[in-house]
Amino acid sequence: MEIKNSSAPLGAEITGLDLAQPVDDATFQTIENLFHERGVIVFRGQNLTEEEQIRFSRRFGDLEIHVATQCLRPGYPEILVVSNILEGGKPIGLADAGQYWHSDLSYLRNPSRCSLLLAREVPEAGGRVLGETLFASAAYAYDTLDPDLRAKLQPLVAVHGYSYRYQLQNAAGLRGALSQDQLKTVPDVRHPVLCRHPITGRNVLFVNEGFTHSLEGVAPEEAQPLLQQLFDHITRPEALYEHHWRVGDLLMWDNWLVQHRAIRNYELPLRRLMHRTTVAGVLKQ
């Protein structure tokens, strides 16, 4: 197994490891330590079945079943299909997943520990693979905050919500409305703006454009510009890792440590098919 860090403050690549085979404890520990340090890891060349992706993902914890049940892989509810492919005129998965900066499941009281996305088909045009995914480090964002701003943020609590984002995304009606029962599973939740990573204790700036819609007890006219300032700070170009996909990449990211955004620069007939597993959160800090 070979490890190469990216030149950004986050991200690493692992080659020479076949995740279809059982991973021994010592190797797993190396992966986990690297993951806690770099926030994003790509394992190249993984030709995994659904069962193998689920088995490796479970090494990190229990798996979430996504609220958008219409986008789950038939027979494998642990796998969320992220794809622009239509079958019989209908989307086979979330066609517009994550095209805004976000941290998966930050709208849960106990946000997801990590997500693992396996590239099964990637869109390619003119010798270039499209559909990149950008990552930004929330730890680097915390570390580089102006000290006065950090002190101001210390007591603040942010409100995160899934239905807020779902409605924005569904303006064109492509996703179908969430049922009342689905909505009940995702009420708004509150997280401190400055959090500690629940496993490593590392400080992070935990607000994201996708799901953070307000600050508790702060008037919208004050909260919105402040939130925008934080979103811009987190996603400054020097804080980014840009992932260029290859078929067989299994990319995993820590949802406390990083945020991400999918770039939609392709359309059918160029196809993109990804399978995502999402690991449940560990107990809150």
Applying CB under 6 A, the residues found at the interface with ligand SIN are 82, 97-98, 104, 115, 117, 133, 260, 262, 274, 276
Position closest to ligand SIN via CB: 98
219 class by beta-carbon count within 10 Å (0-12 exposed, 13-18 middle, 19+ buried): exposed
* β-bridge mates for residue 137, sequence order: 258
123's CB contacts (< 8 A; 6+ apart) are 129, 130, 131, 266, 270, 271, 272
Instruction: Tell me the closest approach of the beta carbon of residue 99 to ligand SIN, in angstroms.
Output: 8
Q: How far, CA to CA in Å, does 162 sit from each of 84, 106, 220?
A: 21, 9, 19
Q: How many CA atoms lie within 13 A of 242 on its CB side?
A: 9
Q: Which is nearer to ligand SIN, 153 or 254 (CB)?
A: 254
For residues 258 and 262, which CB has a smaller minimum distance to ligand SIN in the complex? 262
Q: How far is the CB of 25 from ligand SIN (least distance, A)?
A: 28
Please, what is the minimum distance in Å from the beta carbon of residue 124 to ligand SIN?
15
- Comparison of 42 and 274: residue with beta carbon closer to ligand SIN: 274
As a whole number of angstroms, the distance between CA 94 and CA 17 comes to: 29
Least separation in angstroms between residue 56's CB and ligand SIN is: 17
**Amino acid identity for residue 40 in this structure:** V
CB of 97 to ligand SIN, least distance (A): 4
Q: Indicate the DSSP class of residue 87.
A: E
Measured CA to CA in angstroms, residue 185 lies from 108, 195, 236, 242, 279 at distances of 9, 24, 33, 33, 17
CA–CA separation, 64 vs 79, rounded Å? 9
Q: Considering the complex, what minimum distance in angstroms separates the CB of residue 134 from ligand SIN?
A: 9
Closest CA to 135 of 18, 234, 250: 234
Q: For ligand SIN, which is the closer residue by CB, 97 or 193?
A: 97
Nearer to ligand SIN, 233 or 243 (CB): 243
User: Of 17 and 64, which CB lies nearer to ligand SIN in the complex structure?
Assistant: 64
